[in-house]
Each structure stands twice: as structure tokens, then as C-alpha cells.
Amino acid sequence: MTTATQGTPTEGTATGLPRLLPRHGQQPEDWYAHVARVGRLPYRDAPGRLISDLQAAGLTGRGGAAFPVHRKLAAVLEAAQARRRPPVVIANGAESEPASDKDATLLWLAPHLVLDGLQLAAEAVGAEQAILYTHADRRNDVGRRLRQAIAQRQAVAVDRVPVELAEAPPRFLAGQETALVNHLAGGPAIPTFTPPRITERGLAGAPTLVQNVETLAHLALIARRGPRWFRQVGTEAEPGSMLCTIRRSDGVPRITEVPLGVPLRALLAGPGEQGLREGAVLIGGYHGTWVPAAEAAKLTLDNHGLRRAGARVGAGILITLPQDRCGLVETALVVRYLALESAGQCGPCLNGLPRIAAALAELAGARPRRGTRANVERWAGLVTGRGACHHPDGAARFVRSALTTFAAELGRHERGRCGATDTTPFLPVPHGSAHTEQDWI
């Protein structure tokens, strides 16, 4: 769990940015400050117009999968009309990835932008119910802040679709869309098998639209300023900006709004530094990819640019691992956490992830047995694509990238040594605090 507080530092990196967060100060924006900054809600009840604006803007989801937003809205609208069933719209602010803090920061500083986006999306698909799902533990009183924001909106009668708040449990899978729907229906926050897709049959059987809270904030600005404005930053194929949670060697999470396509070197070097001095960079969080720093310095932050390193933008998490830490120890701690977070309902995930975690703990220690590395590679292949959700796939990607990026470190461990001079855990891992270096070395 991130230790960031309500004052997580925020930065913008290009002309016209930040767009989403208030430019000055760290104070939450009330309704009047919000309207003064971005203007009133634009057109209402105009599903065709919003969907075509989103298509022209090329907005993709900012919750990790980068799926085109207009296609999801269109699918929900079509299912609702075909079945004559009003849909449900859910803003996903669970931010269940421990290394991320961008959604909590957005909700804290600019709650009305997210609520505008939720409202516009709900009206566009003809929903009668809208839900804002957030992680209760992330910030001391983000729940109180959101309740105040909703009450302010009721006072000025801006919302036509009523908005409820719902609490996400502090589990890695709680933000996965079918887990979220299951939880809101009164069940555990674990994924369910698809089909049917939730866009057809989701909460209480209704067509359900789930969008990340940052996605909805972009949607609210596109509705006001138009697709051409949105495309002023970013690349032709991946337009716009995104919020990133960046941890440099001081370990402090900083929220930065960046144009897609920005060189990673510019983001990760730190103020006043020329290049990337650190050993490795984690791109995309705990379902993401370790990349050697020298290679990361040549990449750009967009899915096309990251592909050659086998990485993806994901939810915009970028972490530089300082040279005095051991990437194998860090990876082993995270994979142990990921294994514990498995919903335990698919065999390969239930049995495979704990095995991989135990083998990685061995690799992170002194003189691992011959064959352990090969076993990890084989098991990572066996769990991929075998679960009801993408949890094992993401964990396997993370593990494989560690084996190649930290190959030299693996060699040192085989000789009974470890390159780390600082053994305190660097990556934020909820279950990791109970461990000492003795567990690994």
C-alpha cells in the first residue's frame, strides 16, 4: 500500500498540462472552483454526439487495458436498447495496484471532474444508476470528500442520474471489473468467468459500463473542449495525456500528467539529472515489465513505443529501482504478494503462483538449486492464459522480465552473493512488511 498522503506531489510535463488536476496548490476543488476552471457541463442527453466525440478523440481507458472508450459506451447503449433494460455506470476508483496513487490523487483534488464524466457517460447510455467505487483505505478521508462533492452537486441540482458511493476492499483483484460487479452485488470481490461480458449482463443482470475514474475525467474534458483539443498532445495513434505515478530513487510517489509518447528518459531522470542512472525500471506496475535502465532510456511512454521492450503503459506506473537494491529480492516480495492475492478459484493460478513465488524466493536467496530458474520459466508459461482473469498472465509477465533484466544478479546469487547494499524493501507491498532480509538471503 502506498504511504502517500493527501499531499502527494503533482507535476505537469508539457505545454497545456496538467489538464486534469488543478494547476495550483494541493487543495481539493469544490464545485465553484471546478466550474471556474473547466466551465459548466456541456451538452446533455446526447449519446450519439458524446460517442462520436470520444471516437474522434481516440480516448482509451486509463485503468490498464487501453480499450477504446467509445466502443464500450456503444456496446452498453446497444445492449440496453436491445434488452430494454436501463444500464448501470460505474466509475472504477479502486486503484487496487499498491504502487499506484494517481486515481486517489485525482479523486482527492478534482472530484467534480470525475463526477462530471460519470454523469455524462450515464446520461449518454440512458442509465438510471451511477456508482463511484473507491478504495476506502487509500486516503484518510477521500470518502468524506466525495460525499461532500456529491452533496454540493445535489444542492446545485446538476446531476440527473443519482450517484452512490461504494467501497472497494483493499485487495489486488478488487478493481478487476467482474470482481467489482460481484462485490457490488453482495458477493466477494473476486472475478467471475466470462462470457457474458458485463457490457451485456453485469450488475443485477443489467448492461454495465465500468470505466476508470481518470478515463471519465478525460471524457468530461473532451465533451467540453472537443476531440481536436484532446489530440493537441500525445501521438497520432495514442492521443492525449495520462496520469502517472512515478517513483524515482527516493521512493516518494509523484503524480505527473504526461503526454503519451513522452520519452521515458525525461520522466525518470529526476529534476536536474541528465540521464537514467539507476539499474532497472519497472514499467506498468506489478503486472508490468522490468526493463534495464539503459534500454528504458531509449523508449517512449506509449504502447507502440514500449512494445519492443515487451512492456505496456498499463495504469501509468513507473519505478526506478536504485542500484543499491536487489531486483530479485524485490520481485520475490511482490510475487509472494500476488500469489496471496489470487482469488484461488482457477487451478493454474491457485497452484502455480505460490510455486513460482517459492521458487523466486529461492532465486533471491543464496546458492539456489540448479534448475530452479528453468522451473520458474516453465511454470510462468503454464499459468499464462489459464485463468478466468488476467492475474496469472500479468504475474507471469512480471516474473519473466525479472529473470532477463536481473540475469547478472541471478549469477551472483548462484555464487552465493547479492549485489544489494541496502536490503530494506523498496517496492510498496502490503504483505511485505512482515519480512526481513533473512527470509530471502
CB 143 within 8 A of CB 175: no
Q: Does the footprint of ligand FMN cover residue 176 (CB under 6 A)? A: yes
- The option from ligand SF4, ligand FMN, none interacting with 94 (CB < 5 to 8 A, set by class) reads ligand FMN
What track of x and - describes contact with ligand SF4 for positions 349 through 378 (by CB under 6 A)? xx----------------------------
Q: Does the footprint of ligand SF4 cover residue 227 (CB under 6 A)? A: no
Instruction: Provide the minimum distance between the beta carbon of 423 and ligand FMN in the complex, in angstroms, as a whole number.
Output: 29
Instruction: Provide the minimum distance between the beta carbon of 66 and ligand FMN in the complex, in angstroms, as a whole number.
Output: 7
Calpha distance 99→287 (Å, rounded): 11
Burial degree of 83 (CB within 10 A; 0-12, 13-18, 19+): middle
- Binds ligand FMN by CB under 6 A, chosen from 64, 239, 279, 285: 64
Q: Does the footprint of ligand SF4 cover residue 342 (CB under 6 A)? A: yes
In DSSP terms, which residues pair with 134 in a beta bridge? 93, 167
Q: Does the footprint of ligand FMN cover residue 253 (CB under 6 A)? A: no
194, amino acid identity: T
Stretch that binds ligand SF4, among 23-31, 123-131, 319-327, 341-349 (CB under 6 A): 341-349
- The option from ligand FMN, ligand SF4, none interacting with 392 (CB < 5 to 8 A, set by class) reads ligand SF4
- Binds ligand SF4 by CB under 6 A, chosen from 58, 392, 394, 432: 392
- Binds ligand FMN by CB under 6 A, chosen from 104, 120, 149, 173: 173
Distances (CA, A) of 296 to 11, 263, 307, 399, 419: 21, 9, 12, 18, 21
Distances (CA, A) of 353 to 18, 172, 226, 288, 383: 39, 14, 45, 16, 8
Q: Which of residues 146-175 bind ligand SF4 (CB under 6 A)?
A: 173
| Residue, CB closest to ligand SF4 | 387
- Binds ligand FMN by CB under 6 A, chosen from 388, 389, 399, 418: 389
- The option from ligand SF4, ligand FMN, none interacting with 350 (CB < 5 to 8 A, set by class) reads ligand SF4
DSSP 255: E
CB 146 within 8 A of CB 132: yes
For cell 529501482, what's the residue?
A: 321
* DSSP reduced 3-state for 210: strand
- The option from ligand FMN, ligand SF4, none interacting with 132 (CB < 5 to 8 A, set by class) reads none
- Binds ligand SF4 by CB under 6 A, chosen from 26, 345, 404, 423: 345
Calpha distance 113→224 (Å, rounded): 11
Between residues 8 and 178, which has the closer beta carbon with respect to ligand SF4? 178
- The option from ligand FMN, ligand SF4, none interacting with 65 (CB < 5 to 8 A, set by class) reads ligand FMN
Helix and strand counts by DSSP (H, E) for the chain: 17, 10
Between residues 20 and 173, which has the closer beta carbon with respect to ligand SF4? 173
* DSSP reduced 3-state for 132: strand
Calpha distance 287→26 (Å, rounded): 30
Calpha distance 441→436 (Å, rounded): 9
Sign of CA dihedral 27, 30, 35, 40: positive
Q: Which of residues 90-119 bind ligand FMN (CB under 6 A)?
A: 92, 94-96
CB 142 within 8 A of CB 107: yes
The CA-to-CA distance between both ends of the chain, in Å, stands at 24
Stretch that binds ligand SF4, among 69-77, 126-134, 246-254, 336-344 (CB under 6 A): 336-344
Instruction: Provide the minimum distance between the beta carbon of 270 and ligand FMN in the complex, in angstroms, as a whole number.
Output: 27
- The option from ligand FMN, ligand SF4, none interacting with 67 (CB < 5 to 8 A, set by class) reads ligand FMN
For cell 544478479, what's the residue?
A: 409
Q: Does the footprint of ligand FMN cover residue 390 (CB under 6 A)? A: yes
Q: Which of residues 66-85 bind ligand FMN (CB under 6 A)?
A: 67
String of DSSP letters for 411-427: HHHHTT----S--S--S
CB 289 within 8 A of CB 397: yes
Calpha distance 207→205 (Å, rounded): 7
Q: Which of residues 185-224 bind ligand FMN (CB under 6 A)?
A: 210-212, 215
Binding site for ligand SF4 (CB under 6 A): 173, 190-191, 342-346, 349-350, 387-389, 391-392
Binding site for ligand FMN (CB under 6 A): 61-65, 67, 92, 94-96, 172-173, 175-177, 210-212, 215, 389-391
